[in-house]
Chains A and B, each alone.
Chain A
Amino acid sequence: MRVIVQAEPFDLGALSNAFAEGAGGAGAVVTFTGLVRDNGGALSAMEIEHYPGMTEKAITAMVDEARARWALLDALVVHRYGRLAGGEAIMMVATAARHRAEAFAAAEFLMDYLKSRAPFWKKELTSDGAEWVAAREVDEAALKRW
């Protein structure tokens, strides 16, 4: 199980391959990658702020909760902060299990919790200025299904 919080870009292919190779006994690996939407070219950059210390703790607690709910063989969460351009990868989640249902469910669970319970804040920079991204009701509501 690994939680990585970093400013630098990550190598999605290398991380995914290493994760799948290291997941001994797994029959299913699910990966999800979140990208910066460039909104048709309107976005000049996205700035992501986070709460060092709490971020790692909160994500680790989410991963522990996912392991308690599903028979996961491994899990990986990578989340970036700092200044990102449109199209860049912001974060990824990978889960490994014997069967795909557990891997998909755990990945969705982690995504839902990362959206609303990991201390990150996104700010969109456009030619019109800078604006904090507002949390969405639908993201908060998504937690209720777990």
Chain B
Amino acid sequence: MIEVLYFAWVRERIGAPRERIETEAATVMGLIEDLRARDERYAWAFADMTSLRVAVDQELAGFDAPLAGVREIAFFPPMTGG
């Protein structure tokens, strides 16, 4: 089981801040493909990959990052701190 978190408009499109997901996917991209296939909320949230960022166990990562041993994944738009 992986804890999956959503922030900002990704959270709004999916309609939840977090959920626990059982996945067979090997990479972040594989997880995204699983989620997109679930329903249109996910397809909408993950429509434009250029405007998405991912953190794996609270570190920024690429979409090709492996999921083995990972506890927490977060999806969000580019950050706007400062």
CB atoms of B74 and A114 under 8 A apart = no
Contact with B along A109-142 (1 / 0, CB 8 A): 0010011111111110000000011110001100
Q: Tell me if A51 is interfacial: C-beta within 8 Å of chain B.
A: yes
Identify which of B11, B55, B78, B82 contacts A54 (C-beta below 8 A): B55
Contact in complex: B76, A133 (CB < 8 Å): no
- A interface residues with partner B (beta carbon < 8 Å): 34, 49, 51, 53-54, 57-58, 79, 90-91, 111, 114-123, 132-135, 139-140
- B82, A135: Cβ atoms closer than 8 Å: no
B21 near A: Cβ within 8 Å? no
Q: A49-B8, A132-B9, A139-B82 are in contact. List 12 more A-B contacts (CB 8 A).
A: A51-B5, A51-B7, A51-B55, A54-B55, A111-B82, A116-B79, A119-B74, A119-B81, A120-B81, A123-B8, A134-B78, A140-B78
Chain B interface residue count: which class?
10 to 19
**Contacting B82 at CB < 8 Å: which of A49, A118, A119, A134?**
A118
- Report whether B82 and A121 are in contact in the complex, using a CB–CB cutoff of 8 Å: no
Which residues of B come within 8 Å of A, CB atoms? 5, 7-9, 11, 55, 58-60, 74, 76-82
Of A51, A57, A79, the residue contacting B74 (CB under 8 A) is A51
Q: Are A133 and B80 in contact (CB under 8 A)?
A: yes
The residue of chain A having its C-beta at the shortest distance from the C-beta of B12 within the complex is: A132
Bound complex: CA of A121 vs CA of B52, how far in Å?
Answer: 13
The chain B residue with its CB closest to the CB of A111 is B82
CB distance from B66 to the nearest CB of A (A): 19
